[in-house]
Each structure stands twice: as C-alpha cells, then as structure tokens.
Amino acid sequence: MKSGVIDTNILLYAANRDCREHTRARKFIENALRSAGLAYLSEGICYEFLRVSTHPNVFPSPLGGPQALAWVRTLLDASNFFLLSSGPNHWQAIASLLETLHAPSGNLFFDIRTATLMQEHGIRTIYTADTDFLQFQDLEVINPLSRA
C-alpha cells in the first residue's frame, strides 16, 4: 500500500461482518497495518466511523461505543497510522478548494474537509469507495475494494 488516507467507508466495511465488502475491506486494513506505507485518518473520519458503526438504524449489527472506539484505537496505535489535524491556514485552504468545485453543498463538506486536510499535509492518495472524491482534481482516488 502506498501512503494515503483511508476513508470512513473502508473502515465501516472492514468492521461490518454483514456486508459483502467486508472480506476485501478487512484484508485491506490488515495489509495497511503491516505495510511500510503511511496511513492517515482524520478526526472527522474517526468520529464518522464511531457515529455510523454504533447506530442501529444504519449499521446492521451495531458496535457498542467502547468496542467502536477500541477499533479506531487499534489503528491509531499502529506505528504507521497518523491522525491529520488542521493547520493555521485550514480555512484559507478550504476557500481555495471550494473555488475548484461546482456548487459544493451538504454532505460533500465532509469530503471537502478531508480533501483540505490532505492538501495541507501534502497527501494525494485516498483509499475510498466514495466516488464523490473524484471531484477533487488533485487527488488520486483508489478503491481498494474494486476487483480490478
């Protein structure tokens, strides 16, 4: 695995034994943990994982709060996983990024935040099954679940 951000949906598929993507996502996360490449998460990605993985109306077999947090902590405690934080120019970077998008609104702002953090930290690659990331011109979007 080359260095990059791992998006929420990959984490959720890896944690959810009931979904068809589980095995591929789980293997991807296991490989990322053993990889020499650096893996990145953001606070937003972590909180989104906690929100969805514990929600009984969204996650088929919801995790308990402590169990979901332990899942995230396993990743953040790994030597090659890092948590991205916004820097002093974060809001300027978002403003600049918004100029490149057509009518950004609603839930896309979760992805805009991730793309901005990536830009701030010089990270170009994101591992995701979310095609919304294809809107960001400077990102390399890799779906680790695709059969290609």
**What pLDDT score was predicted for residue 148?**
54
74 within some domain: yes
16-40 b/e with 16+ CB inside 10 Å = b? Answer: beeeebbebbbebbeebeeeeebbb
DSSP-derived letter for residue 85 is: -
Secondary structure class of 42 (helix, strand, coil): strand
Instruction: Tell me the C-alpha distance between 36 and 110, whole Å.
Output: 28
145 within some domain: no
Query: pTM for the whole thing?
Result: 0.94
- Reported as a single tens digit per residue, the pLDDT across 35-87 is 999 999 999 999 999 999 999 998 878 999 999 999 999 999 999 999 999 99
**CATH code of the domain containing 60:** 3.40.50.1010
Query: Are the CB atoms for 143 and 129 separated by under 8 Å?
Result: yes
78 within some domain: yes
How many domains are contained in the chain?
A: 1
Query: Are the CB atoms for 147 and 26 separated by under 8 Å?
Result: no
144 within some domain: no
148 within some domain: no
